[in-house]
Amino acid sequence: MALLLGCVILFASCSPTKHVPQGLYLLRSNKLKLRSDRSVTNKGDLTDALNSLIIQKPNTYFLNVFPYKVWWYNRGYNKYIRDTSAEAFQKRLKTVERPVVYDSALAKRSAQHMKSYLFNQGYFYSKVSDTVVYNRRRKAKATYEVEVGQRYIIQQTILDIDDSAVKAFVAASMSETALREGKSFAMVLIEEERSRIANVLRNNGYYKFTQDNIHIQVDTFNKASLRDADDPLEAAIHYAAMLQANQKPTIDARIIIRKGQEPNAYRRYRIGKVRVYPDFIDRKDISDSTMYESTIKGVTFRYHERFVREKVLLDHIFLVPGEYYTQDNYDLTITKLNELGLFQYVQTYIVEDTTLPSDRTLRCIILMNPTKRYDFSVNWEVTNGTTYTAGSNVGLNFRNRNMLRGANQLSISLTGGIELGYQKTLGNTLLEHFYMLSRNGGVNATVNFPKFIAPFSLRGLNRINQPRTILSLGTNVLERINYFTLINTSASINYNWQQNSTNTWDLSPAFINVLRLPNIEDTFARRLEANEYLKNSYSENFIEGENVSFTFSNRAGPNARRHNSFLKISLEEAGGVLSAINTAINLKNSLGLTYSQYVKIEADARHYIRRQHAELATRFFAGVGLPYDKSSALPYIKQYFVGGPYSLRGWRVRQLGPGSYYDSSVRQGANFIDRTGDIKLEANVEFRFDVLQLYPGLLLKGAVFVDAGNIWLAQPSKNYPGGEFNFSRLGEDLAVSTGLGARVDISGLFVLRIDEGIPLKNPGYQVNGGWIGDQVKPLDLEWLGQNIVLHIAIGYPF
């Protein structure tokens, strides 16, 4: 009762209308009603766009109940009206808000903005009205009723061009037109089409052609629908009949191209001289005769210091002397030179040069300023995980951006870390309660070459795809206290190239992993002897294989702000080459070499639907690894697991599966690492939403998620009954968890994530098909402590 009374007093004392002038009303809410006699395409997007055009927004309410920013403003009201600088300071921090007083004039302007927006989207006869309801508590609720009307459809596009050569180029490109027949019309398509045509012509040498030379007229008068165009009454009757018959009104677009005020708009230009200044300082370099100079394939390079080979830069320059100017090659040159990572900036200038022959009249100047060649950094972090209480990792990183003067990037990293457990019964002081769980360390090096290095070529690739070759070598040591010491030495060669703006390929024709266990404790050795699958997983092994992966991502596409997708498919094989060699040479007997043989295929698909203050993220992952021939299990580092902050968040890492296997003797969270499998299926759905703007650039977000999936063995194992994959038992073997999360987003660059997950369906629970609803005790603190799993991580789970 006292708590209820306190809440009533609090809300009474923080009335948001306390400092609203008499006769005026606080804007409590805006409501948008979208109406149409026909279905509206992308209704959600249209609603969001119209809402964003409302000028007056109500104050911020926590959970739509408590106006905490107005409350804070009211508390310091006297200070703010005396000292406007204090108010400005607080408002910069986004901690206070003045009460938003409803303004009917702004509501009218908002309605007009909506009508203009709808007109630009092709709804030429829309209607927008605004109404407001006042209540006794001096609050106003505004409602905007929008009748979108009928959207026009493009019937035909007509070319009106007074130059035959220009018309030929434009006509050949009309399969890509934005004004496509049958498409819903919007005014934005006019600018899109003007930009497209200008780009087509500039990509064919018309350097001085611009959008100003293009005009597009639209005609909404569909004469085909009228029997008698001279009779207005007859026209109106037939137009109404057309709408009644559910026929959408159409529009004709006429594209008019003229030379205009630019006499050379219809002239095709070629590239003449190209000059490159890789270490440009100032304008004096243009005439400095002491600079080093060389010319390759018509391109002249001028240096103060020849710090990078000309051939490397030439492979990234697409403005070629003698070829027609193209806008795409101009843009590509800037992009690819920046991707080398050698320069602070890249500036390209194109000027007309009347001293050159008439067929080569453009001079190109490329100015670059080199960045620092060497880079050193130190990373240190303290972490908390689901299988340990505290951890610490230190990393030393060195990078050479221009190894051997070829823009080759050399990276070397040294890492080391520990994981600690915590037990109150150990020792007498806080530090003595911690005990060592694991130690790890490693050294890794990569060299990234901006070219394709191989004795063979990939058909269809050229320098536009800009393939890269990546060599890597490293050794990492993991010591699990009281269990084992694992040393993984790895090496690989990888080729990466972009097929187009959305498709990327990675090909590794050879990778090697050498797994050694120089130390196995007796307790773990006995466990291995009792578990054949685990013994095969942790055997010393030599892995040699190949893999290829394809990645699709349209996150940088034109519609990425609303929705985008990601897909990665990969195929990996190991042991095939060694098996062929072993037919001639017995590797195991001659070298004492045991090698792995397996095939893995994986697919990772994600889709994101974004709105102004919310996002729906979905992911599906499927992976299958099948050992073959002399291998009976995948190597440990190649096996699958679930659970943890990036997987099924109702379980800790490696504490679920395989299949319906369940070991009641192992407590949740124990530090065992034997829950692995050969097959993995996982699906995740997460709804993310904005909660509170803490400070500029600091946003608190919430999340609700559901995860489902599991791991399985490819073959039955007596040590894991029910652990093998069986399609008929798939529904029973799937685990399901749900939970809530909070994210602190710092300027979109860094995200601190906290998730609390709880199991809903446990395949190891043999009652109710695995659903554990009958066990849920939300008011039992002991049950909550045992079943709610806390995850703290950096970044989003997917």
Who has greater pLDDT, 392 or 614?
614
Report the distance separating Cα 449 and Cα 311, nearest Å.
13
In which band, very low, low, confident or very high, does the pLDDT at 5 lie, cut at 50, 70 and 90?
A: very low
The pLDDT of residue 734 is above 80: yes
- Return the pLDDT at 778: 73
Determine what percent of the chain is predicted with pLDDT higher than 70. 87
> What are 263's two structure tokens?
């006499």
**What average pLDDT does the segment 411-422 reach?**
88
Report the distance separating Cα 399 and Cα 410, nearest Å.
6
- Return the pLDDT at 616: 95
In a domain, residue 347? The reply is yes
Domain end (from 257, 280, 312): 257
- Return the pLDDT at 592: 61
**CA distances (Å), 107 to each of 113, 126, 203, in order?**
10, 17, 46
In a domain, residue 415? The reply is no
In a domain, residue 789? The reply is no
The pLDDT of residue 773 is above 80: no
- Return the pLDDT at 293: 94
- Return the pLDDT at 412: 97
In a domain, residue 103? The reply is yes
Q: Which domain holds residue 294?
A: 271-370
Query: Which range has the worst mean pLDDT, 321-335, 442-456, 716-730, 775-789?
Result: 775-789
- Return the pLDDT at 664: 63
Who has greater pLDDT, 54 or 88?
54
Claim to verify: residue 139 and residue 185 sit in the same structural domain? no
Top-ranked range on mean pLDDT: pick from 120-129, 324-333, 389-398, 642-651:
324-333
- Return the pLDDT at 776: 74
In which band, very low, low, confident or very high, does the pLDDT at 668 lie, cut at 50, 70 and 90?
A: very low
In which band, very low, low, confident or very high, does the pLDDT at 348 lie, cut at 50, 70 and 90?
A: very high
Domain end (from 316, 335, 370): 370
| Whether 607 contacts 615, CB under 8 Å | no
In which band, very low, low, confident or very high, does the pLDDT at 669 lie, cut at 50, 70 and 90?
A: very low
- Return the pLDDT at 792: 83
The DSSP code for 285 is: G
In which band, very low, low, confident or very high, does the pLDDT at 199 lie, cut at 50, 70 and 90?
A: very high
Claim to verify: residue 38 and residue 160 sit in the same structural domain? no
Claim to verify: residue 164 and residue 198 sit in the same structural domain? yes
In total, how many domains does the chain have? 3
* Tally of CA atoms within 13 A in the half-sphere of 220 that contains its CB: 15
Claim to verify: residue 333 and residue 242 sit in the same structural domain? no
**CA distances (Å), 681 to each of 643, 708, 791, 798, in order?**
12, 8, 21, 15
Claim to verify: residue 13 and residue 104 sit in the same structural domain? yes
The pLDDT of residue 41 is above 90: no
Claim to verify: residue 227 and residue 278 sit in the same structural domain? no
- Return the pLDDT at 319: 95
- The residues, ordered by sequence, that sit 6+ positions from 311 with a Cβ below 8 Å of its Cβ are 296
- Return the pLDDT at 73: 84
571: nearest Cα among 545, 550, 597, 548:
548
Q: Bridge-partner residues for 341, per DSSP?
A: none
Claim to verify: residue 187 and residue 204 sit in the same structural domain? yes
Claim to verify: residue 233 and residue 248 sit in the same structural domain? yes
The pLDDT of residue 756 is above 70: yes
pLDDT tens sequence across 510-555: 999 999 999 999 888 888 888 888 888 888 889 999 999 999 999 8
- Return the pLDDT at 238: 53
pLDDT tens sequence across 125-146: 889 999 999 998 899 999 999 9
In a domain, residue 220? The reply is yes
Claim to verify: residue 225 and residue 303 sit in the same structural domain? no
pLDDT tens sequence across 676-713: 899 999 999 999 998 887 777 788 999 999 999 999 99
Domain end (from 223, 257, 291): 257
Q: Bridge-partner residues for 683, per DSSP?
A: 620, 708
Claim to verify: residue 143 and residue 158 sit in the same structural domain? no
- Return the pLDDT at 136: 86
| Whether 708 contacts 662, CB under 8 Å | no
- Return the pLDDT at 39: 67
Who has greater pLDDT, 236 or 71?
71
In which band, very low, low, confident or very high, does the pLDDT at 12 lie, cut at 50, 70 and 90?
A: very low
User: Domain containing 326 — which CATH number?
Assistant: 3.10.20.310
In a domain, residue 639? The reply is no
Report the distance separating Cα 721 and Cα 709, nearest Å.
18
pLDDT tens sequence across 435-470: 888 899 999 999 999 988 887 666 666 677 778 999
pLDDT tens sequence across 212-267: 999 999 887 554 443 444 455 554 555 555 555 556 788 899 999 999 889 999 99
- Return the pLDDT at 6: 46
In a domain, residue 92? The reply is no
Instruction: Note the Cα 763 to chain centre separation in Å.
Output: 33
Query: Which range has the worst mean pLDDT, 164-178, 307-321, 415-429, 621-635?
Result: 415-429
In a domain, residue 565? The reply is no
Query: Which range has the worst mean pLDDT, 121-125, 139-143, 173-177, 757-761?
Result: 121-125
The pLDDT of residue 3 is above 60: no
Claim to verify: residue 25 and residue 138 sit in the same structural domain? yes
Mean pLDDT across the chain: 85
In which band, very low, low, confident or very high, does the pLDDT at 587 lie, cut at 50, 70 and 90?
A: low
In which band, very low, low, confident or very high, does the pLDDT at 748 lie, cut at 50, 70 and 90?
A: confident
Count CB neighbours of 489 within 10 A: 15
Claim to verify: residue 250 and residue 134 sit in the same structural domain? no
- Return the pLDDT at 654: 81
**What average pLDDT does the segment 635-640 reach?**
90
User: Domain containing 161 — which CATH number?
Assistant: 3.10.20
**What average pLDDT does the segment 142-164 reach?**
91
The DSSP code for 185 is: P
790: nearest Cα among 383, 386, 422, 382:
386
